[in-house]
Amino acid sequence: MALAVLLLVGADVRPQGADPSDKINGVVGYALIVAFDSANACDAPLAVTATQPLYGFVNDNQAAAVAFGRRPGLGSLDVIQHFPCVQTISVELDAYRQLGIATPERIKALLGGAGLREVQVEAASDGLRFAGSTGKACIAGVYKPRKTVVVVISPLPGRSCLS
């Protein structure tokens, strides 16, 4: 059983002089997360022992998630709670790239080992697309020869993550 603590701190993180109508996904500015277990990073909302700018991760996630088609939105808290899973998968896939060992089978094993369920890996025109379920959201991405993109998205109707 893993124990995780996620402390959200409210703050106005807009630059000085910013347009007051520019809302940043609610009032949460930073997430201080105090536990991390990379072996089970996707089993529970865990994260690194550091302060992470919440609005940047949420906005980057929204922009990258467009590649996976129109889906119901996830709240900022749902996205940020899956940050450790996204980080773990990204770091591991970058290591696979450096070692030249990324295959669909290895990616599928990595996702399952991180705690994702119903893992899918498919070859696509833009690289190897992958996804798995945390039960509440999907962690999906594209492994490319020079870059990996990993995002938190909502499941499709029927609860599938990729197709």
Tens-level pLDDT at each residue, the chain (163 residues)? 333 444 444 444 445 555 555 444 444 444 444 444 445 667 655 443 344 555 567 778 787 788 888 888 788 778 888 888 898 999 999 999 999 899 999 999 999 999 999 999 999 888 899 999 998 899 999 999 888 999 999 998 887 898 7
Q: How far apart, in whole angstroms, are the C-alpha atoms of residue 144 and residue 163?
A: 19
Assess if residue 158 is contained within a domain: no
Residue span of the structural domain in which 113 resides? 6-153
The domain total for the chain is 1
What is the pTM for the complete model shown? Answer: 0.70
Coil, strand or helix: which one is 138?
Answer: strand
CA proximity to 135, closest of 55, 43, 71, 62: 43
Token pair listed for 39: 């072996």
Residues 85 and 161: beta-carbon distance below 8 Å? no
Residue 8: strand, helix, or coil: strand
Q: Do the domain assignments include residue 101? A: yes
Q: Quick check: is 163 in a domain? A: no
Whether 40 is in a domain gets the answer: yes
Q: What is the per-residue pLDDT for 138?
A: 92
Q: What SS3 state is found at 70?
A: coil
Please report whether residue 159 resides in a domain. no
SS3 state at 87: helix
Q: Is residue 35 part of a domain?
A: yes
Q: Assess if residue 1 is contained within a domain.
A: no
